[in-house]
Structure 1
Amino acid sequence: MLEPWRTGIVIKLEDVTPSTRRFWIQIPELEKFDFKPGQFVTLDLPIHEKKNKRWRSYSIASAPDGTNVFELIIVLLEEGTGTTYLFKEIKEGSEILLRGPQGVFTLPETINEDLFLICTGTGIAPFRSMAHYIHKHNIPHKNLYLIFGCRKECDALYRDELEELEKQMPSFHYLPTFSREEPEANKRTGYVHNVYEEILSTGNIEAKFFLCGWKNMIDEAKQRITGLGYDRKDIHLELYG
């Protein structure tokens, strides 16, 4: 059953790159906003007369914490009507009409295999939520590989926080890789595909794959993962854009 539309209030904004912003939204009518890590909300923005042309969906970047506040991380798209509105018109204190949580891009009930969380750009949002949730609730798990494709080091969203989480969770591996940086010691360069293929080349790893980001990356990853002998049903995806 779909949740009703509710009014959210933007209580905090923070720019993390020139084109990426964090939005903290509170839903005053709820005591707590319940969602599963990996789910999304849909915003109804006053940018068009037709409803379906006003709706924009974003994965929730925070883990459920028992409050009525959640976080989104949004990148400003060139000629993107929705993101232009969010960046230019939304201030702290602004109201936003929203519906959620929605979506089935969520963790398995029991985690019996290694999880490969593969993303580009703001596709990191659902995986940040999942990693913190697993840690906070001591959920039994195998290896978690968060493989994050960025252009430059400055694009590695939540980097300090995820490096800290890696220290606290021995089985959590934060693996950013940079497509437009020069190779250096202790820095991965290139695309996400090289990273998971290298890990899987050790052979016979039971794994599930979660893909979130731009279509090109997801299409190529699906092809490569099935090419390695994994089943399509082991691949879950959330498409951006």
Structure 2
Amino acid sequence: MIVVGWFMSIIITLTLTIILLAFLGTASHFISDENKIAIIRMIIGIGYCVFVTVILDVPLNFNIPVLSTLFHLTQIVVLFIGFIYCVYQQTDQIYCLNSLFIIRALVVAPIIEETLFRGVFIPYLLTNGCTSIFTFIYCSMLFGLAHINHLITEDVIDKAAIINTVIQVGFTTLFGMYSSYVFFSTKSVISCILCHAVANYLGFPDFTTMSDKKTAIIYLIGVTLFIGSFFIHGILF
């Protein structure tokens, strides 16, 4: 692994994240077909992920602690229990996924993002002298920053687009913290990828359903159990 010192490691990881944003944003300005854009972004992401892993010379850990990983997957399901309840209530609708979404959101995106922001950046920063707490927060923020590509690709950047992006960046930063926690806990990229895939499948929480009292209570129960599960994990693992 290339050792450059803590300051340069921060600059390098930030620069690599910005370059990734530039690459992903470029595709939408030359191609109008959404499916083609998605495919090109997947190809760019995979290639860039391999490139960064090679140049930073970070050995990836693909071992998977089964019990700990299953516990973290259960945490995700518990957190999204309100969403699961809402889907169950919508008996007149069919919750289905198209093949491109499955490939992009459930396979390619989790692999690229977790390999880059957890499997490569975290060990790289730690090796170069960054503290665990700083690395935990910084990588989570980089992960959130990477999701402003949704704003970059907008044809018209208005107030609504900015607000939506801020909310999404905030949410993805929080999820980045959780995924970083999973990586520190399991030391496994695979565990992070699986948790990310499940979270992507369940999707961004629909807060409009919170107006219903019963749904709001179920969401609250899920969040409470999710927070409590960290204490259980500390005891068991």
TM more than 0.5: no
Classify the TM-score, shorter chain: under 0.3
Structure with higher helix content: 2
- Return the structure number with greater relative CO, CA threshold 8 A, min gap 6: 2
Structure with higher strand content: 1
TM-score, normalized by length of structure 1? 0.27
